[in-house]
């Protein structure tokens, strides 16, 4: 199993550009999550999904959108990139919500200039 | 005040030393996670606790629910243990905001010198 994979690993965007961060898991996990990690801060939840077709906002959803058309894929969309979205983005998945560990992808380092 | 506080923020140890990293939290929880983030950035789950103690190899995690405190211990530390160790708690289902979130500490940067 590859686990949780993310692409791209690095990306530089100009202000106002858009992009999609890809996340795929091959563990048949129901729950998937997008986090951002800023220097000196704990990870913050952007969006999460409890299954295909179901998504919900986390703590910091503004400026992002998600979709979950399949169990495996959970892409994160940035429509109008802003410097405040410069961060490292992690996708994670778990089989269930409670009492289950989360498996993390390798991260995407995004810089918005 | 952060809901999850870790101490110390930075820790330097000599190879072979016994290491303790602390995590205190201010909310009720259903579970607590310890995670390891290596310099390359990847995050790995080490433990998930809701009570008592867990051991895996040289790593031991304990939790005291009444005191809202958890510790991560590393015995016989090695340079390959150098990483950021992150504590995260899962609030109960009816906690304000997103019901499926973890609340993360800011991490403890551990450097083990040979």
State both tokens at B56: 């895996």
For residue A39, give the DSSP letter. Answer: T
Alpha-carbon distance B12 to nearest alpha carbon in chain A (angstroms): 18
B-chain residues near A48 (CB < 8 A): 98, 100-101
Percent of chain B with pLDDT over 90: 75
Residue B98 predicted with pLDDT over 80? no
User: Is A100 an 8 Å CB contact of chain B?
Assistant: yes
The residue to which tokens 């990847």 are assigned: B42
pLDDT of B92: 74
Whole-number pLDDT of residue B101: 75
User: Nearest-CA distance from A112 to chain B in Å?
Assistant: 19
The band of A95, judged by pLDDT with boundaries at 50, 70 and 90, is confident
Give pLDDT tens digits for B50-76.
Answer: 899 999 999 999 999 999 999 999 999
Whether the pLDDT of residue B96 is over 80: the answer is no
Q: Which of the pair, A8 or A100, is modelled with greater confidence? A: A8
Q: Check: CB of residue B33 under 8 Å from CB of residue B85.
A: no
| CA-closest candidate to residue B110, choices B70, B72, B82, B75 | B82
pLDDT digits (tens, 9 = 90+) for A22-43: 999 999 999 999 999 998 888 9
| Beta-carbon separation of B98 and A59 below 8 A | yes
Nearest CA in chain A to B100: A97
* Beta-carbon contacts of residue B69 (< 8 Å; ≥ 6 apart): B22, B23, B24, B25, B63
Cα(B34)–Cα(B89) distance, integer angstroms: 9
CB contacts < 8 A (A, B): 65
CB contact under 8 A, B106 and A40: yes
Angstrom distance (rounded) from CA A56 to CA A36: 16
Which burial class, exposed, middle or buried, applies to A76 when counting CB atoms under 10 A from its CB (0-12, 13-18, 19+)? buried
């Amino acid at each position: 199993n590859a686990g949780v994979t993310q692409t791209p690993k690095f990306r530089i965007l100009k202000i106002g550009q858009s992009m999609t961060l890809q996340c795929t898991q091959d563990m048949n996990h129901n729950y998937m999550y997008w986090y951002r990690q800023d220097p000196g801060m704990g990870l913050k939840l952007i969006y999460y999904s409890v299954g295909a077709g179901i998504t919900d906002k986390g703590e910091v959803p503004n400026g992002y959108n998600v979709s979950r058309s399949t169990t495996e894929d959970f892409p994160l969309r940035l429509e109008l990139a802003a410097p405040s979205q410069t961060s490292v983005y992690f996708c994670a998945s778990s089989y269930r919500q409670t009492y289950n560990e989360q498996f993390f992808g390798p991260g995407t380092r995004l810089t918005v200039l | 005040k952060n809901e999850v506080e870790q101490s110390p923020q930075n820790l330097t140890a000599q190879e072979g030393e016994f290491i303790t990293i602390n995590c205190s939290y201010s909310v009720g929880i259903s579970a607590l996670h310890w995670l390891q983030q290596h310099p390359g950035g990847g995050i790995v789950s080490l433990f998930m606790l809701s009570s008592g103690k867990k051991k895996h190899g040289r790593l031991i995690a304990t939790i005291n629910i009444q005191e809202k405190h958890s510790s991560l211990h590393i015995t016989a530390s090695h340079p390959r243990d150098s990483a950021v160790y992150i504590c995260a708690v899962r609030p109960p289902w009816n906690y304000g905001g997103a019901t499926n979130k973890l609340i993360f500490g800011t991490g403890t940067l551990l450097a083990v010198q040979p």
